[in-house]
Chain A
Amino acid sequence: MTAALEVVDLVKRYGDRTAVDGLSLSVPAGSVVALLGPNGAGKTSTVEVCEGFRQADGGTVRVLGGTPASTRARVGVMPQGGGGYPGLKARELLTLFSRFYAHPHDPDALLSLLGLEEVAGTSYRRLSGGQQQRLSLAMAVVGRPELVFLDEPTAGLDPQARRATWDLVEHLRAEGVSVLLTTHLMDEAEHLADEVYVIDHGKVVAAGTVPELTSSAQAFVRFTGPVGLDVDDLLRSLGPDAVGKESPAGTYLVEGPDGPQLLAGVTAWCATRGVLPQGLQTRRTLEDVFLDLTGHELRA
């Protein structure tokens, strides 16, 4: 099957700064791909080149087999923030966008799917941030696109609105629509994405399905308990191959070659100390992978 989006060796510079540095990625038709990365990693720059908002300084981008400009009618775009006429009402704005397409969705049906029917007659400027964002999502899909770009679609949404957005993305995929989304929400990528690209400093630092990214040769146990347990003693009890640490305070992480033995050893050691390990977890999360790959320091 051909890819809906194919990016090869993409370079994007702003003056002296290289925002995207030889990045390649592919969105197979009918799949959801997430770009995950810290602020300033180059996610939005990558997406904006694919959307045709910016010119690449190097590399190639093929969108549905063509260029961004030649495929506008088959691509839906939800940019980060804004993009509505403040003076138009929600329904007017969505209806306007629907009139740019030959076979649009019914605007009212989309509004109710996203829980916006109550504010259909409210002007864009009076919508809450979350409502504006859901309307923006509706504007991106109203033309029945084949490929959808969503730049941080759920940033700042409450749990219900996030769920409505996720449902829509899942239904799009079920109907064969391809989706490229950027996010820095791990659970969003884990929940939605068939494939995740972890991006940092404009490069792909890891790529794969969530199970591929989170699996490792070493077994893994994490639990929380009282602050200051004797980690060295725990590791001695687990045998020579175990490694571990307390980080942050009260959260313990140990790794070893044999999962079942490791878990049994941890719980046995805890029992002798009269400690009940809470939140036992035996698989690395995407967040663990992400922090390992991109570091723990804060980014501006």
Chain B
Amino acid sequence: MTTWPSLAPRGEAAPRGQMLRAQTRAELTLLLRNGEQVLLTLVIPLGLLVVLSQVPFVNVTGRRIDFFVPGVLALAVMSAAFTGQAIGTGFERQYGVLKRLGATPLPRSVLLLAKTSAVLLVEVLQVALICLVGALLGWQPHGSVFGTVALLVLGTAAFSGLGLLLGGTLRGLTTLAAANLLWFVLLSLGGVLYPLSELGPGQDVARLLPTAALSDGLRQLLQHATWSGQDLLVLAVWAVVSLTAASRLFRWE
């Protein structure tokens, strides 16, 4: 005979901090458990860093490793904040997870904060591994840590907005296709694989894209210890526009 626990009602919302921790943990578990996400956020960036810095496919100015670490950092941020968020959110909507969470006391603001926290935690892991591998390959960074973090955070905001915009408006499979295609396009034109100067006059257009702005901004700072005002401006505009559009257009189911 089953012993029944008391089922007497006592419904009350948990403190927000507890909800945030639980939801962040779940989001992080989902990200790290998903093979495609790990491939996208960790394996590909680290693999590209090793290959590009060791094999002279393209000519770069200065030391190869110093050129490629900033670009790979930008790629890592794009993969986690944009592609990962878009695909994850798109499927969560399709599976009815977000709708279901809407019937619990979890506030939407806490859900979005948890998603952001999980992305930031993944980025900490990415940055640590990229810097470690870079250091092993002889990377010599310049510029300030504060400036680097500021650029990474601004880039995360811009890419998260784009990811939530895509994942919050399209169906799961459409999001998957669009996010992967955009990842490839932004990578190709992102100043990650080769210097943007190779594009000739096209580089002025490419530098208006968020990936190129982030990789160029990081490179100016880490390779040459200078700030690029244009890159900061481009990232800030992408962040404001994409987050505003996402908050207006996001659909929960």
Q: Is A72 in contact with chain B by the CB < 8 A criterion?
A: yes
Contact of A73 with B11 at beta-carbon distance under 8 Å, contacts A88-B30, A92-B29, A105-B5 already known: yes
A:74-113 near B, CB below 8 Å: 74-77, 79, 81-88, 92, 95-97, 99-103, 105-106, 109, 113
Contact of A145 with B22 at beta-carbon distance under 8 Å, contacts A77-B100, A79-B100, A88-B29 already known: no
Contact of A79 with B19 at beta-carbon distance under 8 Å, contacts A88-B26, A100-B104, A102-B12 already known: no
B:9-56 near A, CB below 8 Å: 9-15, 18-19, 21-23, 26, 29-30, 33-34
Q: Are B104 and A72 in contact (CB under 8 A)?
A: yes
Tell me how many residue pairs across A and B have CB atoms closer than 8 Å. 121
* Bound complex: CA A24 to CA B161 (Å): 43
Q: Is A177 in contact with chain B by the CB < 8 A criterion?
A: yes
Least Cβ–Cβ distance between B35 and chain A, in angstroms: 10
Contact of A103 with B10 at beta-carbon distance under 8 Å, contacts A84-B95, A143-B104 already known: yes
Q: Is B146 in contact with chain A by the CB < 8 A criterion?
A: no
Q: Is A172 in contact with chain B by the CB < 8 A criterion?
A: yes
Q: Which residues of B contact A82 (CB under 8 A)?
A: 95-97, 100
Q: Are B106 and A100 in contact (CB under 8 A)?
A: yes
Q: Which residues of A contact B105 (CB under 8 A)?
A: 72-73, 100-101, 143
Q: Is B142 in contact with chain A by the CB < 8 A criterion?
A: no
A:51-81 near B, CB below 8 Å: 51-53, 72-77, 79, 81
Tell me how many residues of B have a C-beta within 8 Å of chain A: 36
Q: Are A83 and B23 in contact (CB under 8 A)?
A: no
Q: Which chain B residue shows the least CB distance to A106?
A: B5
Q: Are A53 and B97 in contact (CB under 8 A)?
A: no
Q: Which residues of A contact B104 (CB under 8 A)?
A: 72, 97, 100, 143
Q: Are A176 and B8 in contact (CB under 8 A)?
A: yes
Q: Is A171 in contact with chain B by the CB < 8 A criterion?
A: yes
Q: Which residues of A contact B12 (CB under 8 A)?
A: 73-74, 101-103
Q: Are B14 and A81 in contact (CB under 8 A)?
A: no
How many interface residues does chain A have, given as a range? Answer: 35 or more
| Residues 79-119 of chain B, each 1 if its beta carbon lies under 8 Å from chain A, else 0 | 00000000000011001110110111110000000000000
Q: Are A96 and B96 in contact (CB under 8 A)?
A: no
Q: Which chain A residue shows the least CB distance to B33?
A: A87
Q: Is A146 in contact with chain B by the CB < 8 A criterion?
A: yes
Q: Are A85 and B13 in contact (CB under 8 A)?
A: no
Q: Are A73 and B13 in contact (CB under 8 A)?
A: yes
Q: Which residues of B contact A96 (CB under 8 A)?
A: 22-23, 26
Interface majority SS (helix, strand, loop, mixed), chain A: loop
* Bound complex: CA A292 to CA B227 (Å): 79
Cβ-neighbour of A79 out of B26, B92, B99 (below 8 A): B99
Q: Are A177 and B34 in contact (CB under 8 A)?
A: no
Q: Are B6 and A175 in contact (CB under 8 A)?
A: yes
Q: Are A176 and B9 in contact (CB under 8 A)?
A: yes
Least Cβ–Cβ distance between B78 and chain A, in angstroms: 22
Q: Is B7 in contact with chain A by the CB < 8 A criterion?
A: yes
Q: Is A141 in contact with chain B by the CB < 8 A criterion?
A: yes
Q: Are B30 and A87 in contact (CB under 8 A)?
A: yes
Q: Which residues of A contact B95 (CB under 8 A)?
A: 82-86
Q: Are A99 and B14 in contact (CB under 8 A)?
A: yes
A:15-33 near B, CB below 8 Å: none
Q: Is B2 in contact with chain A by the CB < 8 A criterion?
A: yes
Q: Is A144 in contact with chain B by the CB < 8 A criterion?
A: yes
Q: Which residues of A contact B30 (CB under 8 A)?
A: 85, 87-88
Least Cβ–Cβ distance between A165 and chain B, in angstroms: 13
Q: Is B4 in contact with chain A by the CB < 8 A criterion?
A: yes
Contact of A145 with B9 at beta-carbon distance under 8 Å, contacts A85-B26, A87-B33, A96-B22 already known: yes
Q: Which chain B residue shows the least CB distance to A168?
A: B7
Q: Are B96 and A79 in contact (CB under 8 A)?
A: yes
Q: Are B11 and A172 in contact (CB under 8 A)?
A: no
Q: List 13 A-B contacts (CB under 8 A).
A: A52-B102, A72-B104, A76-B11, A79-B100, A82-B95, A83-B100, A92-B26, A99-B19, A100-B104, A101-B12, A101-B14, A144-B11, A175-B6
Q: A77-B100, A85-B95 are in contact. List 7 more A-B contacts (CB 8 A).
A: A79-B103, A83-B95, A102-B13, A102-B14, A102-B15, A103-B12, A177-B9
